Each structure stands twice: as structure tokens, then as C-alpha cells.
Amino acid sequence: MVKTAIQLYTLRELDESLPSLLRRVGQTSFDGVEFAGADDPTPETATVLADTGLTAAGAHIGIESLEGDLDAVVSDYAVLGSDRLTVPYLDAEHFSTADAVRETGTRLETLADRLETRGFELGYHNHDHEFVTVAGQGRADNGRSAFERLIEHTDESLSIELDVGWAVAAGYDPVALLERLAGRVPLVHIKDVADGRPVELGEGEVDLEACVTAACDAGAEWIIYEHDEPADPVASLERGAEVLESLRP
């Protein structure tokens, strides 16, 4: 059965310690959490995870931190029993031309290979700016988005953490993308959007049920709730847990 988690970025505005946030999540139906780069784990973190019954689904780590001191990052998260790290964001300039996309893909694959030797997997999490159309070298090569090119320029050593909300905000069908990415999406972000901005689940334009079904069919192990701008993080946590639990097959 697919497991559910919350990306802790959703709770960043709460003035609480990481252990306190984990205990709060542990009171919901979520199976786990996905760490954000700012929430660096401490020796207490693994103990709190065990006490709450939560599992570390993975972590968002900036590419500079990964490239700068990979062994330190691996050491921090190996203690938590997590073997998945995800680059959460790269600026639009990395997707502005066909050459830039190719270079970005090579950079990510190189990092993925380095992590693989340490028993970890690397993923990339999209926003909406990766879906810009990028011209290629010839007429037949035009019309594809930078995101599609990234998929083509990389292999399965790099997983894709598809954010269905940002895909919809960019005008793309997340179900079709999940079908195309089958086998490469162990983690999927379930987010709702309206007029291009994140909203609470069920209040926007995303067909949540179809996305969860497609994620499961594509082999996702985790469906992860994220809200970039919740007005009430505690209420958003509780609603997210309830909705994902209701959608889980």
C-alpha cells in the first residue's frame, strides 16, 4: 500500500522545534515526513521518529549542499533510515535553453551516481518554471518543454518527484506525466492549486483522486502532501492528512 507523508516545508511558519513538529505530525494519520533542508536532523530526531511511529520518506536538500559536502549530508540522513534525497529547486536559468537543460541533466546525473555509491537515490522536484517551451536545433526538435527534455536527457538513476500542483499551474496534465514517468516516481507531491497558486486540498483545480490513482499505478511508494503558503499550518496539516487518507487505495 502506498504510504502518506507531509513535506515539513508546509509547517515552516510554526515556531516549534523539529521534534515538536514531528510529534504533531505523529498525531495524524500520516505515515511519515519528508524533511526540508532547513530542518537538519539532530541525534534526537531518530528517537522521536521511532516514538511517533513515523518514517522518513526522504529529504529536500539544496544542490549546493549536496555538491559541497555530500558525505556529511548522507551521514545525517542515513541515521534516520532514509535513502532518498531530492533537489527541491533549480532556478529558471537552468531550463532556459536546450543546452542549459542538457547541462542540468548531466549535473544531476553526476550527483545521482555519486549518491548511488553511498546507497542513496537522488530525485528532482519540479515547480512550474521547468515547463517552459525550449527551442531545439531543428524544426522536429521544437515545441517540447524543458521538463520533457530533462526526462529525456536523464535515465532512471535520477528519479522525478513530480509535484502535481505545479504541473497543473504550468498547464500540464499530471496524470499523463505520471504515466510517462512510471518507474521513476517513488515520491509524488500531492498539491492543489487555483489560478497558479497553492490552495488547500480540494479547493483548487487538481483532480486529486486521479492523481493519486496515477501515482500508485506509476509505482509511487509515497504520496506527500505539501502546501507552500498555508494560512493556518496546523489546520492544513490536519486537512492534508484526512484528504490523503481518504484517497489512499
Helices (H) and strands (E) counted in the chain, each on its own, are 10, 10
pLDDT for the residue 238: 98
Could you give the angle at the alpha carbon of 38 between the alpha carbons of 33 and 43, nearest 5°?
70
pLDDT for the residue 142: 60
Task: Name the nearest CA neighbour of 89 among 41, 37, 12, 154.
Answer: 37
Show the domain range for 118: 3-231+238-247
- How many other CB atoms are found less than 10 A from the CB of residue 199? 20
Residue 30 to residue 54: CA distance in whole angstroms: 8
Residue 100 to residue 150: CA distance in whole angstroms: 10
Beta pairing partners, 125 = 161
| Residue 122: strand, helix, or coil | strand
> From first to last of its 249 residues, what are the pLDDT tens digits of the chain?
999 999 999 999 999 999 999 999 999 999 999 999 766 788 789 999 999 999 999 999 999 999 999 999 999 999 999 899 999 999 999 999 999 999 999 999 999 999 999 999 999 999 999 999 986 554 445 678 999 999 999 999 999 999 999 999 999 999 999 999 999 999 999 999 999 999 999 999 999 999 999 999 999 999 999 999 999 999 999 999 999 999 999
Cα 34 to Cα 76, 104, 106, 150, 230: the distances in Å are 14, 24, 25, 24, 17
- How many other CB atoms are found less than 10 A from the CB of residue 221? 16
Cα 183 to Cα 19, 60, 160, 227: the distances in Å are 33, 20, 10, 25
* Phi then psi dihedrals of residue 90, to 5 deg: -135, 140
Beta pairing partners, 197 = 194
33 in Cβ contact with 26 (< 8 Å): no
pLDDT for the residue 139: 42
pTM higher than 0.75: yes
- Show Cβ contacts of residue 110 under 8 Å, excluding neighbours closer than 6 positions: none
**Cα dihedral across residues 145, 148, 243, 46: positive or negative:** negative
Helix (H) or strand (E) holding 158: strand 158-163
CATH number for the domain spanning 22: value is: 3.20.20.150
- Number of domains observed in the structure of the chain: 1
pLDDT for the residue 38: 64
Residue 36 to residue 59: CA distance in whole angstroms: 6
